[in-house]
Amino acid sequence: QVQLVESGGGSVQAGGSLRLSCAASGYSFSNYAMAWFRQVSGKDREGVAAIGSDGDTSYADSVKGRFTISRDNAKNTLYLQMNSLKPEDTAMYYCAADLAIGMTAIQALGADPYYGMDYWGKGILVTISS
């Protein structure tokens, strides 16, 4: 049974940093692309960052240069380091996995934000105050 469990969310002031983690289990983590999505209340979910099985990465323009996605295959864990946080980064953040062989980071980032990935975490809240 595939499980994705996010942690590391919380509240910080603008300009601060947070690191989200996503612990994955129930499948061969290292073989597949992973991604982070986020959703502001009342708005559509959007892709934030993605990473392929080969380590290639892709980012939304809104977070380029501020967020870094990484993975530790030995720990079956996905990370999102978020720096220079802005109030507009406030959202629920979701970890997602797709078990399609060969999916690239660009493809994962551009996946349908509700149905385009095979598995989703429950989400974790990030709140940035001004």
Q: How far apart are CA 12 and CA 66, in angstroms?
A: 15
Q: Note the pLDDT tens digit of each residue in 97-106.
A: 999 989 999 9
pLDDT bin (cut points 50, 70, 90) of residue 113 is very high
Q: Which two tokens stand for residue 39?
A: 């959703």
pLDDT digits (tens, 9 = 90+) for 37-86: 999 989 999 999 999 999 999 999 999 999 999 999 999 999 999 999 99
Looking at residue 61, its pLDDT comes to 98
Q: What is the pLDDT of residue 16?
A: 98
What the block records as the tokens of 61 is: 């323009």
- Which CB contacts under 8 angstroms, 24+ apart, belong to 115-121? 117/35, 118/2, 119/2, 119/4, 120/4, 120/94, 120/95, 120/96, 121/4, 121/5, 121/6, 121/22, 121/94, 121/95, 121/96
Cβ atoms of 95 and 22 closer than 8 Å: yes
Beta-bridge partners for 92: 39, 125
Alpha carbon distance 56, 7 (integer Å): 23
What is the per-residue pLDDT for 99?
A: 94
Give me 78's structure tokens.
């996905």
Instruction: Fill in the amino acid letter for 33.
Output: A
